[in-house]
């Protein structure tokens, strides 16, 4: 199962990706988390310190994954994957470490190649934390063309919901069969109601709304990682996972 996590900048996309990866790991699933941000921080949210994140090797540019390519899936995970305190294996796909280094298109091509292969020998769930914005859905072939479900993260703002609606349109054109909205950073019932109403108005199937949680903010600030037992968000994560299962059920029973 390959889950792409996308959204407008600042909506808490990486936080949701880390929390969801940790939730699947605690449920006994083998989880690979793939950081495709050119400023990779997913490892911090999974409990690594900065030095450990910086030491994670980046996937080679334009590597072709598969039996007839440069590396098998097993070789990619074995060589470039790193264990995290969240019991999630982290892969870093893209890193911009120097000015004027050119575009990151080759790195996105590597991710697309990896997702196009059978990952089930190495993982039950792959969570792909994408860069903010829409460019990864507009590239030729689309980085997430092989995702099973696209999770579009929104905060309680009109702009983030509009961006989510545009994302769903591009995902449909790209052929991604299933997409769900995930609300985030809801401070009160008013925020929850706004996300429900706005999602319905824009045709976004809303899986759940993750509440704002001081524990998550404190963990982020202290560098403790975000996957520990934060009771205030567990119910929302369970709802997201249930919605993903429901979205996949027709394909599984067809």
pLDDT for 17-74, tens place per residue? 999 999 999 999 999 999 987 778 899 999 999 999 999 988 876 666 655 667 777 8
Higher local confidence (pLDDT), 239 or 58: 239
pLDDT score at 39: 78
Q: What is the layout of strands, in order, in the sheet containing 125-129?
A: 82-83, 89-92, 31-35, 125-129, 2-7, 149-154, 179-186, 206-211
Q: pLDDT averaged over the chain?
A: 82
Residue 60 burial (CB < 10 Å; 0-12/13-18/19+)? middle
Q: For residue 18, what are the CA distances in angstroms to 14, 32, 159, 228, 252?
A: 6, 11, 23, 10, 26
Assign 177 to helix, strand or coil: coil
Contact 211, 156 (CB under 8 A): no
Percent of the chain predicted with pLDDT > 70: 77
Nearest C-alpha neighbor of 207 from the set 244, 176, 170, 177: 244
Average pLDDT over residues 122-148: 71
**pLDDT value at 140 more than 60:** no
User: Residue 104: phi, psi to the nearest 5?
Assistant: -105, 20
The tokens describing 131, both together, are: 């860069």
């Amino acid at each position: 199962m390959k889950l792409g996590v996308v959204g407008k900048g600042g909506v808490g996309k990486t936080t949701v990706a880390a929390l969801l990866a940790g939730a699947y790991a605690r449920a006994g699933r083998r989880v690979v988390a793939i950081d495709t941000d050119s400023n990779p921080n997913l490892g911090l949210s999974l409990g690594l310190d900065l030095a450990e994140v910086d030491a994670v090797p980046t996937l080679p540019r334009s590597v072709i994954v598969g039996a007839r390519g440069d590396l098998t899936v097993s070789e990619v995970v074995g060589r470039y994957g790193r264990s995290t305190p969240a019991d999630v294996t982290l892969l870093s796909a893209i890193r911009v470490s120097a000015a004027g280094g050119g575009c990151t298109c080759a790195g996105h091509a590597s991710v697309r190649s990896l997702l196009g292969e059978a990952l089930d020998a190495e993982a039950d769930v792959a969570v792909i934390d994408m860069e903010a914005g829409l460019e990864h859905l507009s590239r030729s072939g689309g980085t997430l063309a092989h995702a099973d479900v696209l999770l579009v993260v929104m905060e309680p703002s009109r702009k983030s919901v509009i961006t989510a609606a545009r994302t769903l349109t591009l995902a449909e054109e790209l052929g991604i069969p299933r997409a769900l909205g995930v609300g985030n950073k809801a401070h009160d019932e008013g925020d929850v109601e706004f996300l429900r109403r706005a999602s319905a108005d824009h045709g976004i199937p809303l899986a759940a709304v993750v509440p704002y949680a001081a524990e998550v903010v404190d963990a982020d600030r202290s560098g403790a990682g975000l996957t520990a037992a934060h009771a205030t968000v567990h119910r929302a994560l369970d709802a997201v996972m249930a919605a993903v299962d429901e979205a996949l059920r027709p394909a599984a029973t067809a």
